[in-house]
Structure 1
Amino acid sequence: MSTPFEKALAAIDAAHALDPNLTTIDGTTIPYELHYARKCTSYLEKRVPNASEPLRLAIRAQHFRRWEVPRDSYPMTKPGYHAWRTFLKKRQAEQAAALCVEAGMSAADAERVAALIRKEDLKQDEETQVLEDVACLVFLDDQFAAFEKEHDEEKIVGILRKTWGKMSEAGRELALGMEMEGRPRELVEKALNG
Structure 2
Amino acid sequence: MTSDAIPAALLEKAYAAIDAANGSDPARVEVDGRSVPAAVLYGQRMTQVLARFRPDASDALKIAARGQHIERFTIPRETYPAGKAGYFRWRTELKNVHERRVTEILLGLGLEAAFAERVGKIVRKDRLKQDADMQVLEDVAVLVFLTYELDAFLLKHRPEPEKVAGILAKTWGKMSEEGHAAALALNLPREVVDLLHQGLAARANAED
SS, match of residue 29 in structure 1:
strand
Distance in 2 between the 1:170 and 1:25 partners? 30
1:44 corresponds in structure 2 to 50
SS, match of residue 191 in structure 1:
helix
Distance in 2 between the 1:35 and 1:9 partners? 12
Q: How many residues align?
A: 191
Distance in 2 between the 1:161 and 1:118 partners? 21
Are residue 155 (structure 1) and residue 166 (structure 2) matched? no
The residue correspondences of 1:83-98 to structure 2 (distance < 5 A) are 83-98=89-104
TM score, norm. by length of structure 2: 0.86
1:137 CA displacement = 1.1
SS, match of residue 81 in structure 2:
coil
Are residue 176 (structure 1) and residue 181 (structure 2) matched? no
1:186 corresponds in structure 2 to 191
1:116 to 110, 114, 122: 122
Distance in 2 between the 1:28 and 1:142 partners? 17
Distance in 1 between the 2:60 and 2:104 partners? 13
1:76 CA displacement = 2.4
Deviations 1:15-40 (A, max 9, x none): 12221100112332211011111111
Q: 1:176 to 1:165 in 2, by over 3 A?
A: same
Larger displacement relative to structure 2 (140-149 or 167-176): 140-149
TM score, norm. by length of structure 1: 0.91
| Contact persistence 1:74–1:83 (CA under 8 A) | yes
| Contact persistence 1:5–1:103 (CA under 8 A) | no
2:88 corresponds in structure 1 to 82
Give the counterpart letter for 1:136 in structure 2: V
Q: Which runs of 5+ in 2 are unaligned?
A: 1-6, 202-208
1:8 to 14, 18, 37: 14
Give the counterpart letter for 2:178 in structure 1: A
| Contact persistence 2:100–2:120 (CA under 8 A) | yes
Greater gyration radius? 2
2:3 corresponds in structure 1 to none
Q: 1:3 to 1:82 in 2, by over 3 A?
A: same
Give the counterpart letter for 1:45 in structure 2: A
Distance in 2 between the 1:97 and 1:116 partners? 11
Distance in 2 between the 1:187 and 1:29 partners? 30
| Contact persistence 1:157–1:188 (CA under 8 A) | no
Deviations 1:112-155 (A, max 9, x none): 00000111321111100001101111122222221222220000
| Contact persistence 2:147–2:186 (CA under 8 A) | yes
Give the counterpart letter for 2:194 in structure 1: E
